[in-house]
Amino acid sequence: MASQVFKNKTFSSVYHKYMIPISKETLNMVLSFVQGKRNGQPLEMAVDVGCGTGRYTIPLAPHFKKVLGIDFSKAQINLANQYNLLDNVSYMVAPAEKLPIENDSVDLLNAGLAAHFFRVDEFASEAVRVLKKKGCLAVHGLYPACDIEYKDLSHDLTVVMSEVWKILYQHADKSKDHLLCQYESIYEVIPLKDKQLITDIPVKFQMSFPEIIEFIQAVYMFQIFLEKDVKKAEQFLKQIEKRFQDILGENADSVRLNVNVKHYCVLARKD
Ligand SMILES: C[S@@+](CC[C@H](N)C(=O)[O-])C[C@H]1O[C@@H](n2cnc3c(N)ncnc32)[C@H](O)[C@@H]1O
């Protein structure tokens, strides 16, 4: 199972350090959806499943009385606890398919960049069980591709990145099918009537090319590649590094590249 790589302590720190930033755009959509039909009623409990090191858990804290992050990787939860300075945030090791949470107790059940690893039917039933009446489910992800813009080199740089993703896909399991259809497959199995799927949420940020190389190493598919064949995986990284350097020339390391990615989000509300 691809998600087992998150149980590796070293990969856990690489992921935390080098994964691209969370999508504030998506997070704002989630928060407006949750606040939508509440008439100002305070939000008590959010649970972030597949929380990893807490990158999406912490930003929920100002909006809820309590936030609980849950992940089946002890390595991820150890790091999350290490980084947590907030009194209303806590973490637990548990699987998404059997949440240690009471029935009808959660205002928001969130899963960022994680639901494609879950046994989705079981997670969806758990969501319905733990959500309060009018409680919301939000599952969102990142499309595994990106365009790079820089002067007149955008085309060449984007071609290199497309080739990177093509190689990485070879090391994914069926989790990648959920990513490539922008969670339509997950949207379909959620047994709630009030639901919507928002795709192609554009997100832009700047990165240097060494940061892009670090980001590649934080992708779970690269970690699987590394575990299968260290030599080939390292060679692949070196080749990509060289191709970026050849395209960008002298100041390769210092130029800031515009990176465009897209996110998508399933939002659902219990009757
Ligand atoms: C790509 S990381 C995302 C972490 C975090 N949400 C973020 O955006 O940084 C996916 C996380 O899902 C967790 N995970 C995968 N399958 C799981 C499962 N069945 N139950 C609980 N956690 C799971 C992994 O351990 C990992 O921490």
Contact 154, 147 (CB under 8 A): yes
pLDDT for the residue 41: 83
- Collapsed DSSP state (helix, strand, coil) of residue 195: strand
CATH number for the region 2-269 comes to 3.40.50.150
pLDDT for the residue 162: 97
Atom 9 of ligand 1, nearest CA residue = 55
Give the domain ranges of the chain.
2-269
pLDDT for the residue 42: 85
Which residue ranges of the chain lie beneath pLDDT 50? none
Q: Decide: 135 in ligand 1 pocket, CB within 6 A.
A: no
Inter-helix orientation angle 230-248/220-228, to 10°: 130
Closest atom of ligand 1 relative to the 3 alpha carbon: 15
Surface-to-core class of residue 213, CB atoms within 10 Å of its CB (0-12 exposed, 13-18 middle, 19+ buried): middle
Place of tokens 């807490």: 54
Nearest to 266 by CA among 106, 52, 29, 96: 29
- 98-130 pLDDT tens trace: 999 999 999 999 999 999 999 999 999 999 999
State in Å: Cα 123 to ligand 1 middle.
13
Q: Decide: 6 in ligand 1 pocket, CB within 6 A.
A: yes
Q: Decide: 3 in ligand 1 pocket, CB within 6 A.
A: yes
Q: Decide: 114 in ligand 1 pocket, CB within 6 A.
A: yes
How far apart are the C-alpha atoms of 61 and 41, rounded to whole Å?
16
- 129-149 pLDDT tens trace: 999 999 999 999 999 999 999
pLDDT for the residue 200: 98
